[in-house]
């Protein structure tokens, strides 16, 4: 696990080994989210690249019966 430091300009450098393993290039865009005390960066991918990324995913889901309590 690598440690990074926040610069006076509030910038963080992603470690080289992580950039290489994930193919991160300059100009890459990310969504940033907060989960409690955790900051998460999620790479933004173009929709064309996402085509077929869930191929083979099991879409059978056991669902509860739909009930409309106002009608009862």
Number of domains composing the chain: 1
- Domain for residue 34, yes or no? yes
- Domain for residue 55, yes or no? no
pLDDT of residue 13: 94
- Cα 69 from Cα 65, distance rounded (Å): 12
pLDDT of residue 45: 82
On the question of pLDDT at 12 being above 70, the answer is: yes
How confident is residue 50, by pLDDT bands cut at 50, 70 and 90?
low
Interval 17-40: pLDDT, tens: 999 999 999 999 999 999 999 999
More confident residue, 61 or 53: 61
| Residue 30 φ then ψ, to 5° | -135, 150
On the question of pLDDT at 72 being above 60, the answer is: no
Expressed as residue numbers, the domain containing 30 is: 1-49
- Domain for residue 23, yes or no? yes
């Amino acid at each position: 696990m690598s440690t990074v430091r926040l610069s006076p300009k509030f910038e963080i450098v992603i470690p080289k080994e992580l950039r290489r393993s994930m193919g991160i290039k300059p100009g890459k865009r990310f969504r940033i989210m907060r989960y409690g005390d955790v900051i998460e960066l999620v790479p933004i991918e173009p929709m064309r690249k996402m085509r077929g990324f869930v191929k083979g995913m099991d879409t059978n889901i056991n669902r509860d019966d739909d009930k409309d309590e106002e009608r009862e």
